[in-house]
Amino acid sequence: MLMRTDPFRELDRFAQQVFGGPGTWSKPAAMPMDAYRAGDEFVVCFDLPGVTKDAIELDIERNVLTVKAERRPLTGGGDVQMQVSERPLGVFSRQLFLGDTLDADRIAADYEAGVLTLRIPVAEKAKPRRIEIAGEDSDRKRIPA
């Protein structure tokens, strides 16, 4: 049997449930993420340990990307008696506002080892490009100062 050593842990858990902290079923909780640019794409990684791939939803509307995931309780039959329950359950949600410089039509998603990775390419129109200058090059005469 597992024993708890922190007498205030149950009080903290109760306060989270009453006042709407992470782990409650009533409101979505945030999910940790990292975001960085690698070359011509932005990479966003979300930590979703214990969430199955089919419990993740990705939606995009008007450059707002919504990631929603649900961690469901373990089903072990009727004879299971939970001893310690510290992992948050329920719905986790996060919205990202994508700039016009990103190509929202070509987002790639991968889920491995509890990490959801999104790769968002930079739009062609936003990539740096060289602008040619028209005009005469060597035939111009200098005017003395």
Instruction: Out of 68-77, 98-107, 112-121, pick the least confident.
Output: 68-77
For the segment 6-53, what is each residue's pLDDT rounded down to a tens digit? 556 566 666 666 665 554 444 455 688 999 999 889 999 999 988 999
Q: What is the pLDDT of residue 139?
A: 54
Q: What structural domains and CATH numbers belong to the chain?
A: 27-72+89-126 (2.60.40.790)
DSSP the chain: ------TTHHHHHHHHHHHT-TT-SSSPBP--EEEEEETTEEEEEEE-TT--GGGEEEEEETTEEEEEEEEPPP---TT---S---S--EEEEEEEE--TTB-GGG-EEEEETTEEEEEEEBPGGGS-------S-SSSPPPPP-
